[in-house]
Amino acid sequence: MLSIWGVIALGVVVAYFAYDLPDIRQVAMPERRTAITVVAADGGQIARYGDMTGDMVQASALPKHLTEAVLAIEDRRFYSHYGIDPIGVARALWVNWQAGRAVQGGSTITQQAAKNLFLTPERTVRRKIQEAILAVWLEMNFSKDQILTAYLNRVYFGSGTYGIDAAARAYFGVPATEVNLEQSAMLAGLLKAPSRYAPDRNPEAARQRADVVMSAMVDAGFITEKERAAADDQPPVPPRRPGGGSGSRYFADWIADQVPDFVNTAAPALRVETTLVPSLQRAAESIVDSRMAEDGGKVGASQAALVAMRPDGAVVAMVGGRGYSQSQFNRAVTAQRQPGSSFKMFAYLAAVEQGLTPDSLVLDAPITIKNWSPGNYDGKFHGEVTAREALAKSYNTAAVRMLQRAGINRTIELARRLGINSPLRPELSLALGTSEVNLLELTSAYAALANQGNGVWPYGVERIGPPGEAALYTRFGGGPGEAVLPWHVEAINRMLGATMTIGTGRSARLDRPSAGKSGTSQGYRDAWFIGFTADYVVGVWVGNDDGTPMDKVTGGSLPAKIWHDFMVEAERGKPARPLLGVDDSLPAAVATAGPGGGAPAPAAIAPTAATPGAPRVLVPPTATIPTVQPAKQELDQGGLEGLIGSLGNG
């Protein structure tokens, strides 16, 4: 009688909990985020985003040690129970009672397959009972191998991977049918806590978990101690690392954020081919880390960023900070900081467009505007000097006078032409870099000077499309076109080249034509060095995230050293190439307008007559360049109401 009533009660319970079961004729298809794989210029994977699925693999096609690893750690009696394992449930209850908390589960692989196929992940008593009911139904309708196949191809393995094949490809670069014993143990170990044991994020924890799995395999009789010892004697399994080093995630994040602007991301998977060069990326990370480890702590600098691009704007390396795992904030792209004297280039170039030459005389002398009296880093004034010396040695009062002569609005318009999109305040203090910019846009602005005056749009995406299919987007074309006339580029490059020989960038000097400019913001809060050769344009920033002042770090010190070290590696094995204005190279011809701004007309470009050894200045054949006379008087007090207060030096 008791048995009869027990069966009736069980039927009522089953009927109650089965009332709102999902339609078992349909397998639940959870929403998946588009899987975006970002690859370097050599095809090596940098990072993945979204949810990745691999090929459907039958359990019978997998290596025996892979299925045995899963069974040993997840459900050792899988082939003997009927969907629910009473022994496993009892063991889990006993262990949890002893621990005083839930530390072990009693679910079988069949129950987990039922949850993955039909139910939501929520943890309630109702869902656990429904899971058990569905597990029995699966056992009644499908073979054990079919259930194991469904489980292994649907379960989550961490890092956005769903299914055993996707995990094997993502972590080890091989299909699931080719994994070895240690890799199998790592994959099986992921099932307990995918994020915690993911080998690409925590390789040491993954190896320790793999040891636990292999011990379980020995205990279950799947492998012998000798086989386990042989696996332990093998070199550790290297998890698949990003193509350009761990720091390349800053670059990958920058790229992934742009993908929706290029293509519709409704596709299940996209492959993004980029301009990143792994060898240069690794060099950039290593040099930034070593220089900051050696000198950063001594001078109170905790962070650094670096951007390297070709003259056409193709970003080949990006360091967004010291340690992506500690901070994902990309200081190369997102941080807005005062550029200090590295912004003086714009004022001088705007003056060049108004007739300034490298040999024009400018005045470096005391100046007072309201309560503001800018000074120089050395505490001295140098009187009449050439524009070349004033920019190379970063004299502040000369830069302020230069901005007044060139015009604030003209200078801002020039900065916009060169790619500065950040807000720029129309004040004379702009000459000393008081309006914040980011490293990427400042570097790309300087790139125009290495690109014969053609403007640059910094880019990292070459091609986007589903893996193995036709491209949805392919980059073609260039930047915005001519932003600065070539003879103006030559003049400013001649001044910036002097920075490397007689100015603030001497510690960055190379064995080939190069030019650049240092920058230091007020109170030594930011230090910059932006420089270029004919091959690469590189920008470096050093500082602290909270704006804490450093110990007298200038752009010509630590940033210039980082720039120099990176450029030595980047240029290794490359022949020295001429750089317009630095090596007196001349273009053959160009379409240009006269100095008065008339309609463009084709014209050969010729140097002005010069005495032997004197620098040559490119001009149209019929044009003359007026000389800017030195400023002999104080600046006009009018029109300066918006001027801000005390400023930093270069």
Residue that the structure tokens 């340690």 belong to: 323
**CA neighbours closer than 13 Å in the CB half-sphere of residue 351:** 31
- Using an 8 Å Cβ cutoff, are 449 and 418 in contact? no
- Using an 8 Å Cβ cutoff, are 448 and 305 in contact? no
482 catalytic per annotation: no
Tokens of 517: 């400019």
Q: Can you tell me the distance from the alpha carbon of 372 to that of 116, in angstroms, rounded to the nearest whole number? A: 69
- Using an 8 Å Cβ cutoff, are 250 and 290 in contact? no
- Helix (H), strand (E) at residue 208: helix 203-220
Q: Can you tell me the distance from the alpha carbon of 331 to that of 237, in angstroms, rounded to the nearest whole number? A: 33
Tokens of 202: 């925590």
- Using an 8 Å Cβ cutoff, are 503 and 344 in contact? no
Q: Can you tell me the distance from the alpha carbon of 492 to that of 532, in angstroms, rounded to the nearest whole number? A: 13
Q: Can you tell me the distance from the alpha carbon of 559 to that of 561, in angstroms, rounded to the nearest whole number? A: 5
What does DSSP say about strands 589-592 and 537-543: parallel, antiparallel, or unpaired? unpaired
Q: Can you tell me the distance from the alpha carbon of 300 to that of 321, in angstroms, rounded to the nearest whole number? A: 15
Tokens of 196: 């915690």
74 catalytic per annotation: yes
Residue of 107, 341, 514, 557 with catalytic role? 341
- The residues, any chain, with a CB within 8 Å of residue 333's CB and separated by 6 or more, are 250, 254, 318, 320, 438, 439, 440
**Residues pairing with 337 in the sheet:** 437
Q: Can you tell me the distance from the alpha carbon of 145 to that of 125, in angstroms, rounded to the nearest whole number? A: 28
Burial pattern 72-101, b for ≥16 Cβ within 10 A else e, equals bbbbbebeebebbbeebeeebeeeeeeeee
What does DSSP say about strands 383-386 and 361-364: parallel, antiparallel, or unpaired? antiparallel
Tokens of 372: 């503001």
Tokens of 219: 């205990």
Q: Can you tell me whether residue 19 is helix, strand or coil?
A: coil
Strand ranges of the sheet holding 45-49, from the earlier edge strand across to the other edge? 45-49, 35-39, 269-274, 461-465, 473-474
Residue 546 CB coordination number (10 Å): 8
Residue that the structure tokens 């080890």 belong to: 172
- The residues, any chain, with a CB within 8 Å of residue 195's CB and separated by 6 or more, are 158, 159, 201
* 189 class by beta-carbon count within 10 Å (0-12 exposed, 13-18 middle, 19+ buried): buried
Residue of 74, 139, 273, 441 with catalytic role? 74
Burial pattern 276-313, b for ≥16 Cβ within 10 A else e, equals bbbbbbbbbbbbbbebbeebbeebebbbbbbbbbbbbb
- Using an 8 Å Cβ cutoff, are 367 and 404 in contact? no
Closest of 328, 48, 35, 36 to residue 198, by C-alpha: 48
- Helix (H), strand (E) at residue 271: strand 269-274
Active-site positions read 74, 341
